[in-house]
Amino acid sequence: MAEPIIKFENLSLQFPNGALALSEINAEIQEQEFTFLVGPSGAGKSSFLRLITREILPTEGKIWIKGEDLSSISMQRLPYLRRKIGVIYQDFKLFPKKTVYENIAYVLEITGASYWEIPAKVRKALRTVNLEDRSNSFPEQLSGGEQQRACIARALVNSPHLLLADEPTANLDPDSCDNIFDIIERINEEGTTVLVATHNEQIVDKLKKRVIGLAAGKVTFDRESSPYLRVHRILK
């Protein structure tokens, strides 16, 4: 069997105040898989994602990304690993004084892309999210759905192997939610592994992907195409 792109082994995370965010997590996500991470607020979903980008380190256990042990990776190697992980945030995190084009190009600039390759890569990312006509707009001139599409373009511009999304549609209307997940599903179909933390029950039921459930820091279920509406009532 091929090496999983993400592997958690007996992983626990305890915060300095003693709160246990995650406990004895064992999970694997394969290349090109689309997985939802669900559970009530405080279940540990955001911590799960932050461990993957090594924003935080586990208290116990191991996490591997593409076979690389994150606990022993050097600080020099870490930026190269992160380039292959795209992240979409709930609150967008766009620079307000940069245009959409400049927000996306900035990712390439700080990772050392050549001056000549940046325009083509930015245009490709904008085409993927159908936002070419808004490239010169500033974030405040965009709707919530357009801002999130800009965030997806920014996450994609380095051609990541893995796309993480933390509640990507929490503040959007239903039509924008559908549009965002249409784009994310298409990205997955083109070969990118996708992991989405969400409360959006309708989307989880509609897309019928693998679902990992968290509650009180523990994996409570891991199912293919789980009926989230029924499971969510149990978790609540």
Residue-level pLDDT at 71: 84
Q: Does residue 229 lie within any of the structural domains?
A: no
Could you tell me what percent of the chain has a pLDDT over 90? 73
Q: Does residue 99 lie within any of the structural domains?
A: yes
Distances (CA, A) of 88 to 110, 148, 203: 18, 8, 17
Would you say how long the chain is, in residues? 236
Q: Does residue 151 lie within any of the structural domains?
A: yes
Q: Does residue 46 lie within any of the structural domains?
A: no
Q: Does residue 172 lie within any of the structural domains?
A: no
Q: Which residue range(s) make up the domain with 98?
A: 94-159
The structural domain count of the chain equals 1
For residue 195, what pLDDT band results from cuts at 50, 70 and 90?
A: very high
Residue-level pLDDT at 228: 54
Residue-level pLDDT at 113: 85
What would the DSSP string read from start to end of the chain?
Answer: -PPPSEEEEEEEEE-TTS-EEEEEEEEEE-TT-EEEEE-STTSSHHHHHHHHTTSS--SEEEEEETTEETTT--TTTHHHHHTTEEEE-TT----TTS-HHHHHHHHHHHTT--TTTHHHHHHHHHHHTT-GGGTT--GGGS-HHHHHHHHHHHHHTT--SEEEEESTTTTS-HHHHHHHHHHHHHHHHTT-EEEEE---HHHHHHHT-EEEEEETTEEEEEETT--HHHHHHHH-
In DSSP terms, which residues pair with 163 in a beta bridge?
86, 194
Mean pLDDT of 162-175: 92
Mean pLDDT of 34-50: 93
For residue 165, what pLDDT band results from cuts at 50, 70 and 90?
A: very high
Q: Does residue 194 lie within any of the structural domains?
A: no
pTM score above 0.85: yes
On the question of pLDDT at 213 being above 50, the answer is yes
Residue-level pLDDT at 73: 87
Q: Does residue 152 lie within any of the structural domains?
A: yes
On the question of pLDDT at 234 being above 50, the answer is no
